[in-house]
Amino acid sequence: MLTINALMKYMRDEKNISITGGKEKKQLMNIGYFHGYKGYRFVCDPTQELKYNTFAELMAVYEFDMHLKSILYPYIMSIETAFKSHALETCIELCSNDFTEVYDKLLNKHTKYQADSKDYKDALKIKLKIRNIVYSTVSERYSQERPEDKNKMITHYQHQGKPVPLWALFEILTLGQFGILIQTMNDSTSTRLAENLKLYYSNADQDGRIVEAKTRFMTDLRNAIAHNSVVFDCRFMKSNPPKKIKRFVKDEIGIEAEFKSFDDFIALIIGLLLKLEYSKTEVKRLIRSYIDNTEKLRSKVPIEIYNKILGTETKRKMSTLLKL
């Protein structure tokens, strides 16, 4: 393991990055060599290296990334809460607040397929998986050794000898786990959920799976932000964006989104916030904050680095968003 001075020398001698003085040494110490420099030296893939001239340029990219996470975190959490709230309302409306009833009557997507078919078996496996997730999560939240670590809602219902209501279960499920739950919903339930969120398009989403697609797609971004991972180059994406997501951004925002730059995630989030009836003032505040962040980056790095990170369409796309 090299010392911080040796790492600075390596950056100068091997990577031709100018880094000197106590200030930059402290900055490198604060962001961490492996989390900081190693994480921000490329775009998407280690072979797509960013050719920094100075450490200040690397810090500009780091600060751009950190600002992205700070401005988006509350909105991502708000979208997650809204999806869960509408899903809860939909389940109660169509069935009850009891997980067992909902599990039997609404989480039965597998029944749309022929018994013993591959689709049937795959869907049934997911249904069984979410049941295991729910019960194991309840057990985990109750079984904490220290009383202060126990989930009070779970403890209350367990001590009362009552089943944990659906609303309490939704509180303890992660966004990824919640995504698995709505993946098991039958078509009529998923369609009603999409309608309640004003996301249903009969011509483009006949099975109402748009909420499922959005939840699963947003989970990677949400987790990256929550765990302070690098997000500026969309490397957190674990799969290609579903066609339903691209269609939504095109129809609602007017932007052809391929999600190869962060601009398209901003467009998706803006589209969802508008559907959730956020005020135009609040939405514009987010757009302008993102624009300010991109302009700050542009002023601090060479155009080659900027274009590698964001491409050349940021101004046009943000102008389209502001006109909404």
Tell me whether residue 21 is in a domain: no
How far is the C-alpha of 118 from the C-alpha of 122, rounded, in Å? 6
Task: Considering only CA atoms, give the Rg of the chain.
Answer: 23
Question: What pLDDT shows up at residue 288?
Answer: 97
Question: What pLDDT shows up at residue 202?
Answer: 66
Tell me whether residue 23 is in a domain: no
Given a cut of 80, whether residue 206 has pLDDT beyond it is no
Tokens for 269, please give them.
Answer: 């989030």
Domain interval for residue 314? 52-322
Q: What is the mean pLDDT of the chain?
A: 93
Tell me whether residue 199 is in a domain: yes
Tell me whether residue 148 is in a domain: yes
Domain count along the chain: 1
Predicted structure pTM score:
0.91
Place of tokens 């780091």: 62
pLDDT per position as a tens digit, 309-320: 999 999 999 999
How far is the C-alpha of 282 from the C-alpha of 167, rounded, in Å? 28
pLDDT per position as a tens digit, 137-196: 999 888 876 776 678 888 888 899 999 999 999 999 999 999 999 999 999 999 999 999
Question: If DSSP codes are grouped into helix, strand and coil, which group holds residue 312?
Answer: coil
Question: What pLDDT shows up at residue 253?
Answer: 93
Sequence-ordered strand ranges (E) for 151-270: none
Tell me whether residue 38 is in a domain: no
Considering only CA atoms, which of 218, 136, 138, 208 is closest in space to residue 176? 218
Question: Mean per-residue pLDDT for 238-266?
Answer: 93
Residue 251 burial (10 A CB sphere; 0-12, 13-18, 19+): exposed
Question: Mean per-residue pLDDT for 236-247?
Answer: 91
Give residues with Cβ within 8 angstroms of 274, minimum separation 6: 252, 283, 324
Tell me whether residue 276 is in a domain: yes
Question: What pLDDT shows up at residue 27?
Answer: 94
What's the longest Cα–Cα distance across the chain? 69
pLDDT per position as a tens digit, 76-118: 999 999 999 999 999 999 999 999 999 999 999 999 999 989 9
pLDDT per position as a tens digit, 270-287: 999 999 999 999 999 999
